[in-house]
Amino acid sequence: MKNKILMFWFIVAVVIVSSILIFVKPTKLGLDLVGGSRLLLEAETTESIAKITPEVMNRLQFAIEQRVNKLGVAETVVQQVGDKRLLVEIPNVTDLKEAKAFIGETAQLEFKKEGKASDGSPIWVSTGLTGQDLSKSILSTDATGQWVVSLEFNAEGAKKFADLTKALVGQQMAIFFDGELQSAPRVNEAIYGGKAQISGGDSGFAYEEAERMVNLLNAGALPVPAKIVEENTVGPTLGADSIAKSRKAGIIGLSAVMVFMILFYHVPGVIADIALIIYSLILFALFKTIPVTLTLAGIAGFILSIGMAVDANILIFERTKEELRAGRNLFTAINSGFDRAFTSIFDSNMTTIITCTILYLLGTSVVKGFALTLAIGVMVSMFTAITVTKNFMHLIFGTGELKHPALFGLKKDEIGQSYEATETKREKARFGILD
């Protein structure tokens, strides 16, 4: 009895800690609930970079991170998925179209010089001077009040630029941004000091255009182009609606299950309901501590795990009832009921955990969320069924004979009917049966 009471206080402690955690920690909600955008970018090879190596991916991730941070939105995520993809998550984005264009832009700045193609027609050829040679760019205006993008080269870039302009005196030099010709000024003299300017050609830059280019240049060019291969955007209205509905469905579902348990199992049903509440508390505390991002699929996994948590209790109660029908006293009936139900609970939960593991390893992020919540739920449910339910059953019913079968939803004349419990000597010792 002493360890039963110790266990009881342990459970109380767990409940208190869980409640505090739930109160203190914020809930991490997925994009489908708060609204936001999930983009999957795929790196593409180019003529100069024929293979996407991890090093290229790291550079791409860094460049995309810089850009996403420039959007000024909190809690963005940029992570590598597989060997050539990046997952970008942006919550609460206001202008998605703008954001997408901003993220996807390669932002490759190139200086080119005049050259001749094999058939003799004039073309622009690369000079080797690119955006990588920049140290920074600034938005400014020129003498006529036009918006221009001022460039400052790094030490190496400044040297390249000086050499280039020296060689090109009297010729045109073209500035390309993402393959588009911006301007092609004539070089009058060699330029030292590592500074240059891009004007928007004849028509000049609009303010937004120039500002965007400055931002992109400062965030750095993408080492390779990245294409959006998958997109999932949920507006904030739909997200709020989903939260409200899931909460309502969860509360209704949980209450209905609790009523069912009391109607069918009477006092043990009440115990199962308390265990269920404790289960939900522990689970939520875990979700917040780990933290698990709650998505719609995750909530579905959680609600399903409630079903499985109840199952453990049902298995145990059905078994205990059978033992009571066989005429056992309360202590041995509860013990053997738990013990015999346990193999079923363990084996069935193990298969669920196996499927969850496979889903988690192979699934997309939506599926992962579902698998994770279900797996955690199943593990916590084993704990609450075995510790909480068993402990409360022993504390409430004690060790005597069953005097009021109605407490278990049994009829008096059922006792000693239909089933004769049999066990080996070892089991008898374990269940505490005295012949």
Partner 1 sequence: MINLTTHKVKVVKYRWWWMLLTTILLVPGIIAMIYSAVTYSNHAPLKVGIDYTGGTILQYGLEQKLENSDVTKTREALEGIGVENPYIQILNVNNTQQENTKSNINSIISIRTKFIEEGSDDADKITECLTRNYDNPELISVSSVGPTMGKELFKNSLIAVTLAFLGIVAYLSFRFRFDYALAAILGVFHDVIFVVGAFSILGLVYNVQIDGLFITAILTVIGFSVHDTIVVFDRIRENLRYYSKKMSFGEIVDASVNQTLTRSINTSLTTLITLLALYLWGGVTTRDFVLCMILGIAIGTYSSIFFCSMLVDFWNDKQQTA
Binding residues for partner 1, total number by CB under 8 A: 80
CA distance 122 to 119: 9
Q: In whole angstroms, how close is the CB of 421 to partner 1 at the nearest point?
A: 9
Q: In whole angstroms, how close is the CB of 333 to partner 1 at the nearest point?
A: 15
Residue 140-159 contact track with partner 1, rule CB under 8 A, x = bound: --------------------
Between 148 and 374, CB nearer to partner 1? 374
Residue 246 as a binder of partner 1 (CB under 8 A): the answer is: yes
Helical residues (DSSP H) of 290-364, grouped into ranges:
296-325, 330-362
Residue 435 as a binder of partner 1 (CB under 8 A): the answer is: no
Residue 296 as a binder of partner 1 (CB under 8 A): the answer is: yes
Is residue 31 within 8 Å of residue 38, measured between CB atoms? Answer: yes
Name the percent of the chain in helix, strand, coil, to the closest 5: 55, 20, 25
Q: In whole angstroms, how close is the CB of 406 to partner 1 at the nearest point?
A: 17
Q: Which amino acid is at 301?
A: G
Is residue 334 within 8 Å of residue 391, measured between CB atoms? Answer: no
Q: How many residues does the chain have?
A: 435
Q: Pick one of 75, 231, 404, 432: the residue that binds partner 1 (CB under 8 A).
A: 231
Looking only at residues 337 through 356 of this chain, which bind partner 1 when binding is defined by CB under 8 A? 340, 343-344, 347-352, 354-356
Looking only at residues 356 through 375 of this chain, which bind partner 1 when binding is defined by CB under 8 A? 356-359, 362-364, 366-367, 370-371, 374
DSSP letter string over 232-285? Answer: EEE-HHHHHHHHHHHHHHHHHHHHHHHHHHHHHHHHHHHHHHHHHHHHHHHHHH
Between 196 and 345, CB nearer to partner 1? 345
Between 123 and 228, CB nearer to partner 1? 228
Long-range CB contact pairs, 248-254, < 8 A, 24+: 249/303, 250/299, 250/302, 250/303, 253/303, 253/306, 254/280, 254/306
CA distance to 104, 136, 339, per residue, from 427 (Å): 67, 78, 9
Residue 297-336 contact track with partner 1, rule CB under 8 A, x = bound: x--x--xx-xxx-xx--xx--x---x--------------
Between 35 and 194, CB nearer to partner 1? 35
Q: What are phi and psi of 222, to 5 degrees?
A: -80, 135
Between 355 and 399, CB nearer to partner 1? 355
Looking only at residues 14 through 33 of this chain, which bind partner 1 when binding is defined by CB under 8 A? 32
Between 290 and 354, CB nearer to partner 1? 354
Between 31 and 164, CB nearer to partner 1? 31
Q: Which residues pair with 138 in a beta bridge?
A: 150
Looking only at residues 252 through 291 of this chain, which bind partner 1 when binding is defined by CB under 8 A? 252-254, 256-257, 260-261, 264
Tokens matching residue 227 = 């294409």
DSSP letter string over 155-192? Answer: HHHHHHHHHHHHHTTTSBEEEEETTEEEE-PBP-S---
Q: In whole angstroms, how close is the CB of 198 to partner 1 at the nearest point?
A: 23
Looking only at residues 389 through 418 of this chain, which bind partner 1 when binding is defined by CB under 8 A? 417-418
CA distance 53 to 46: 13
Q: Which amino acid is at 167?
A: A
Q: In whole angstroms, how close is the CB of 343 to partner 1 at the nearest point?
A: 5
Residue 73 as a binder of partner 1 (CB under 8 A): the answer is: no
Q: In whole angstroms, how close is the CB of 319 to partner 1 at the nearest point?
A: 8
